[in-house]
Amino acid sequence: QQQVKQSPQSLIVQKGGISIINCAYENTAFDYFPWYQQFPGKGPALLIAIRPDVSEKKEGRFTISFNKSAKQFSLHIMDSQPGDSATYFCAASSHDYKLSFGAGTTVTVRA
């Protein structure tokens, strides 16, 4: 059972553009939704996270939008930079913080 579905698989954006990655989940017990950034050869690093009591969270150029009724959440990267080129994983967990990861989105920012 794929608990977290992520799309698109990859995207290319021009420098300064907006990258949008979408995720949907099935388990209504999930109450923690982080996004991880992974560079080649490195481990995932927490980028930003949200809990279902808010609909949006912004940290710098990164924003999570959360729709509890639709069981969907998304990551927006504003003013995308070449250094943002990486693979992004959405994830979800309940109180045990056992993360279920999405399949990942490879973002390429063209200068």
Residue 100's SS3 state is strand
* Contact pick of 74, 102, 107, 109 for other proteins (by CB under 8 A): 102
Complex with other proteins: residue 43 or 83, whichever CB lies closer: 43
* Contact pick of 1, 53, 83, 98 for other proteins (by CB under 8 A): 98
Q: Return the DSSP state at 42.
A: S
Q: How far apart are CA 101 and CA 23, in angstroms?
A: 10
Give the number of C-alpha atoms closer than 13 A to the C-alpha of residue 106, restricted to the C-beta side.
3
Could you say whether residue 41 binds other proteins (CB under 8 A)? Answer: yes
Q: Given the rule CB under 8 A, which residues bind other proteins?
A: 32, 34, 36, 41-46, 49, 89, 93, 96-104
